[in-house]
Amino acid sequence: MLSGKTVVLGVTGSIAAYKTAGLASRLVKLRADVHVIMTQNALHFIHPTTFESLTGNKCLVDTFDRNFQFHIAHVSLAQRADVLLVAPASANIIAKLARGLADDMLSTTALAMRGPVLVAPAMNVNMYNQPVTQDNIARLREYGKIVIPPESGYLACGDVGTGKLASEDTLLNYLLREIACEKDLSGMRVLVTAGPTREPLDPVRFITNHSTGKMGYAIARRAMLRGAAVTLVSGPVNLAPPPFVRVIRVSRAEEMFEAVREHWETQDLIIKSAAVADYAPVEIRDEKIKKQGGAMTLELCRTRDILAWLGERLKPGQALCGFSMETGRVLEHSREKLEKKRADLIAANCLREEGAGFGTDTNHLTLIRRGCVTDLPMLSKDDAADRLLDEMRAIWEQKNGAEGGLPRPGKSEGGKADDFCG
């Protein structure tokens, strides 16, 4: 994910420095070129050899280190870096960065940075809450630096409160948001629906389906990494919410409809990947339905067709995508859905194809537009999400007269496209 990217980690004097070692290891596994700069005080908490062993690069401490391979190290490294993360960031380094002081390798490199600078505070709760520290943090934000909020809890000094360095996962997510992808969706607003819905029969039972939400969550996460402001309307799933995404949790089909109705008008791209129940019980019992002899009949009513509702109201310039999970005659049914629901794109797949059904980490999508069918290979859901977003961006650019639309590889309507379910 980070191949070709250069990440500089700045480490200051804090017991939380051990977390940065774990982060460095994870960045290397993502193929980033990682360089670590330590302050003199950081040497009291962790040895430079640790970082050198993890990254394969010399750990820098001395501003005038003659053994460093680049001329004028702090300037050269700042020019090469895609991002600088100071973690843990002590009150001292925060004050330096806020006031433009540059008296060691880390502060001079930060001052020379042209790319994004992220600062993750870690300190005693009383130091963190001091007005001067808060003023320095506010000043960093005014200068365009990204401050990663510290966590609350038991601190190494024995106090309890805010001041813990953010977790490795959080630090990594901030870095990925900055440099993992080209920001070709920057400024765009994307609405994604994901997961199943649950239609209750009584306080115990409900009607649902096998959707896990993995595809929709992948779309939301990749759109976020590509710079979009993402709203995710999610049915009940067992997935961690994508970072930096607004998540609206719903359960029933009617709740998903209401959430979509509330937010659709301001969106540029709308991607309906949720497996919404087509039918719901007419009556929801207040008490558990007791087992009785013989058969039981359930009366069901149609739920609102969210995709059709959107297709009828779509504004000029908006792009709408629906999903079509089929068990046979995939292209025929999906083309019918494209026309009937007035969508711009249908992403079709087959439940019976191994690796393309519910709960998998891969998917085989066929992207169907009027006059164009693109049969994607079996891909990871992240890669499939990117290909889908490429297509949606191209549709949006065509509708809005934007130049530089992405090419759409695929088969024309007159060519042969495999209906892989027969």
The CA–CA distances, whole Å, from 116 to 74, 126, 323 equal: 16, 28, 37
Selected catalytic residue, list 59, 157, 321, 372? 157
Whether residue 404 is predicted with pLDDT greater than 50 in this model: the reply is no
CATH architecture of 6-179: 3-Layer(aba) Sandwich (3.40)
Can the peptide bond before residue 88 be classed as cis, meaning omega within 30 degrees of 0? yes
pLDDT digits (tens, 9 = 90+) for 74-115: 678 999 999 999 999 999 999 999 999 999 999 999 999 999
Whether residue 422 is predicted with pLDDT greater than 70 in this model: the reply is no
Q: How many CB atoms lie within 10 A of CB 249?
A: 14
Which residue shows structure tokens 């106090």? 159
pLDDT > 90 in the chain, percent: 83
pLDDT digits (tens, 9 = 90+) for 124-153: 999 999 999 999 999 999 999 999 999 988
Whether residue 201 is predicted with pLDDT greater than 90 in this model: the reply is yes
**Are 14 and 45 spatial neighbours (Cβ–Cβ below 8 Å)?**
yes
pLDDT digits (tens, 9 = 90+) for 218-249: 999 999 999 999 999 999 999 999 999 999 99
The SS3 call for residue 289 is coil
The pTM (predicted TM-score) of the whole model is 0.89
Predicted local distance difference test score (pLDDT) of residue 73: 58
Identify the band that residue 409 occupies on the pLDDT scale cut at 50, 70 and 90.
very low
Predicted local distance difference test score (pLDDT) of residue 33: 97
Predicted local distance difference test score (pLDDT) of residue 3: 94
Whether residue 413 is predicted with pLDDT greater than 50 in this model: the reply is no
From the options 3.20.20.150, 3.40.50.970, 3.40.50.10800, 3.40.50.10300, give the CATH code of 189-412.
Answer: 3.40.50.10300
* Segments making up each domain of the chain, as ranges: 6-179, 189-412
pLDDT digits (tens, 9 = 90+) for 12-57: 999 999 999 999 999 999 999 999 999 999 999 999 999 999 999 9
What mean pLDDT value characterizes the chain? 91
Whether residue 72 is predicted with pLDDT greater than 60 in this model: the reply is no
Residue-wise over 16-43: b if at least 16 C-beta within 10 A, else e?
bbebbbebbbbbbebebbbbbbbbebbe
**Are 197 and 253 spatial neighbours (Cβ–Cβ below 8 Å)?**
yes
Whether residue 418 is predicted with pLDDT greater than 50 in this model: the reply is no
Predicted local distance difference test score (pLDDT) of residue 419: 32
Tell me, yes or no, if the two domains 6-179 and 189-412 fold the same way: yes
pLDDT digits (tens, 9 = 90+) for 365-375: 999 999 899 99
Predicted local distance difference test score (pLDDT) of residue 414: 34
Task: Name the token pair of 91.
Answer: 């009150």
Is 350 known to be catalytic? no
Identify the band that residue 64 occupies on the pLDDT scale cut at 50, 70 and 90.
low
pLDDT digits (tens, 9 = 90+) for 167-180: 999 999 999 999 99
pLDDT > 70 in the chain, percent: 92
